[in-house]
Chains A and B, each alone.
Chain A
Amino acid sequence: MRGSPLLRALVCFCLLLGLWPVVRKVTAQGEGAAESVRGPVTEPQNTPPAGNVRVRCRLELTVTGVCRGFEVLHLGSQILQADRVEGRLERELDLEFPEEGVDLVVGWEWAGNKEEAPGSGENAARIRLWTPGDRMEERTVWGTGKMEEVLSFGGKGK
């Protein structure tokens, strides 16, 4: 580049002055873009985890004999208890119901004067659970005396 150093400095100054509005515009857009990225990051924190949603389920128990004590545990806590069941029992329950389903631990104690099931000498209990979306699932358990079973409801592939 030819010319005196003073002239060169003057040309550079004029060029920068002319470009100033463009530089301002680009910087402002960059700041705005950074803000729009920061915004949505905080949003998912307000969304509750899917597994913690409680839903109302209807549970129906039907027994062949006299059940002297019946209880249902969910995640280690008792959610239903009855001292004596004869025939049928129906309850509404609020359960945490992840899409993987739930495991209910069901405990029974059968009374001595049991009505015998055909050919087995055992009592039967049928549990029906109406899960979210009004989908009904049914499990049947046979046994005598005191018993405990883990019954799975809901979940994929069922």
Chain B
Amino acid sequence: MPAWFPIRFFFLLSCFVFLAGVGAPKLCAAERVQPVRVSSFSTILTELAREVGGDQVRVTGHVRPDTDPHDYEPTPGDLKVVGTADLVLVSARNLEGYVGRLERGVVDKRVLLAVGDRLKAARALDDPHWWHSIECMKEAAALVRDALAALRPEARPGFEQRAAAYRERLQSLQRWARTEVAKIPKDRRAFVTAHDAFGWLARENGLELIALEGFSGGGQPSSKKIAEIIGRIRQKKVRAIFPESLDNPKVLEQISRESGARVGGVLYADGLGTGSAATYEGMYRENVKALVEALK
């Protein structure tokens, strides 16, 4: 045995003891702060939960991008995941007809957060598409932050920090949108869409919406309704009508031919899309760009 062996042995031993001592509390902390399991039934809320929750959440987005939330029905697989979730997020305001069934599937009703129903800013309109209001989005971010913090109080500083950063981004998006809409002369700010999904966007940006169908859409408008819309387009000298990413644009094309208003770019009405519309900010920008481009 070489003379230096005991020194080397004790050095390694003390290193091991030191590392074990430092590592142990960390392991315990990691065990304590389990990620919050979130089930989301809205593409918008899936993004909000991920943005505000960061690595403290594990989010399952049940409604995929480019899916119509008005027609979505939860699968047995969805209900199984919901049963194990710490927090279930729904858009609410009558957008999802299955909230009652979800409540029965959720063990503790306190974990179901019907975001749209809790928004003070959303009370001004009956429209369930509250996410097209940036003011509503700011409030929704705060609601998700508080719901997560109630479930994981020790992670609250992180939730607060990320919610504040998200709010900042929403504020600069709002400033950008107002500057963009200012490019449209004020006598040309009326626009037509397939269903009544952009009331909030119109209201916050000084635009005027004429919708072919109600809040849910999906139906076939009557010839009387089509004639009425053509009349309003002519009366208000509306320059463009806009198809939606999830709709059949044939009726709008017919209205365009008969009224002289041109068909503008595709709008994202019912949630996030793919590509450049895969994030809330991207979706909102795509919508504003399409409107400004066709109306200015």
Contacts of A51 in B (CB 8 A): 185, 187-188
- B residues 174-194 near A (Cβ < 8 Å) are 175, 178-179, 181-189
Whether A150 contacts B179 by the Cβ 8 Å rule is yes
Whether A100 contacts B187 by the Cβ 8 Å rule is yes
Q: Which residue, A49, A76, A104, has most C-beta atoms of chain B within 10 A?
A: A76
Whether B185 contacts A96 by the Cβ 8 Å rule is yes
Contacts of B185 in A (CB 8 A): 51, 75, 96, 98
Contacts of A101 in B (CB 8 A): 186
- B residues 256-296 near A (Cβ < 8 Å) are 296
Residue of A nearest to B183 (CB): A76
Q: Provide the A131-157 mask, 1 if CB < 8 A to any CB of B, else 0.
A: 000000000000000001010100100
Whether B179 contacts A148 by the Cβ 8 Å rule is yes
Total interface residues in chain A, CB < 8 Å: 19
A27 to B185, CA, bound (A): 50
Contacts of B179 in A (CB 8 A): 105, 148, 150
A71 at interface by CB-CB < 8 Å = no
Contacts of B206 in A (CB 8 A): 103, 152
A33 at interface by CB-CB < 8 Å = no
A49 CB, min distance to chain B CBs, angstroms: 8
Whether B183 contacts A100 by the Cβ 8 Å rule is no
Whether B182 contacts A100 by the Cβ 8 Å rule is no
Whether A76 contacts B296 by the Cβ 8 Å rule is yes
Task: Give which listed residue, B182, B187, B189, contacts A150 with CB less than 8 A.
Answer: B182
- B residues 194-251 near A (Cβ < 8 Å) are 206, 237
Contacts of B184 in A (CB 8 A): 75
Q: Contacts A105-B179, A150-B178, A150-B179: A100 and B296 contacting too (C-beta < 8 A)? A: no
Contacts of B296 in A (CB 8 A): 75-76
A50 at interface by CB-CB < 8 Å = yes
A50 to B237, CA, bound (A): 12
Task: Give which listed residue, A50, A73, A104, A148, contacts B187 with CB less than 8 A.
Answer: A50
Contacts of B183 in A (CB 8 A): 75-76
Residue of A nearest to B182 (CB): A103
Residue of A nearest to B175 (CB): A148
B277 CB, min distance to chain A CBs, angstroms: 23
Q: List 6 A-B contacts (CB under 8 A).
A: A50-B187, A75-B182, A96-B185, A101-B186, A103-B186, A104-B182
Interface residues of A (CB under 8 A from B): 49-51, 73, 75-76, 96, 98-105, 148, 150, 152, 155
Name 13 extra pairs, CB < 8 A, besides A102-B186, A150-B178, A150-B181: A50-B187, A73-B182, A75-B185, A76-B296, A96-B185, A98-B186, A98-B187, A100-B186, A101-B186, A104-B182, A105-B179, A152-B206, A155-B186
